[in-house]
Amino acid sequence: MNKIEFTINGKKVATQVEGRTLLVNLIRDELKLTGTHVGCDTSQCGCCTIHLDGKSVKSCAMLAAQADGANIVTIEGMADGDKLHPVQQAFTECHGLQCGFCTPGMIMTAASILKDHPQPTEEQIVKGLEGNLCRCTGYINIIKSVHRAAELMKA
Sign of CA dihedral 110, 116, 117, 120: negative
Does the footprint of ligand FES cover residue 146 (CB under 6 A)? no
Does the footprint of another protein cover residue 148 (CB under 8 A)? no
Instruction: From the list another protein, ligand FES, none, pick the one residue 68 interacts with, judged by a Cβ distance below 5 to 8 Å according to partner type.
Output: none
Q: Which is nearer to ligand FES, 14 or 34 (CB)?
A: 34
Binding residue for ligand FES, selected from 101, 109, 146, 150, defined by CB under 6 A: 101
Angle at 117 (CA atoms; ends 93, 115), nearest 5 degrees:
75
Residue 130 CB, shortest distance to ligand FES, in Å, is 12
Does the footprint of ligand FES cover residue 143 (CB under 6 A)? no
- Residue 129, CA distances (Å) to 10, 49, 53, 56, 80 in order: 26, 11, 20, 11, 24
Q: Which is nearer to ligand FES, 69 or 100 (CB)?
A: 100
- Residue 72, CA distances (Å) to 51, 120, 138, 151 in order: 6, 24, 29, 26
Q: Which residues bind ligand FES (CB under 6 A)?
A: 38-40, 43-48, 58, 60, 97-103, 134-137
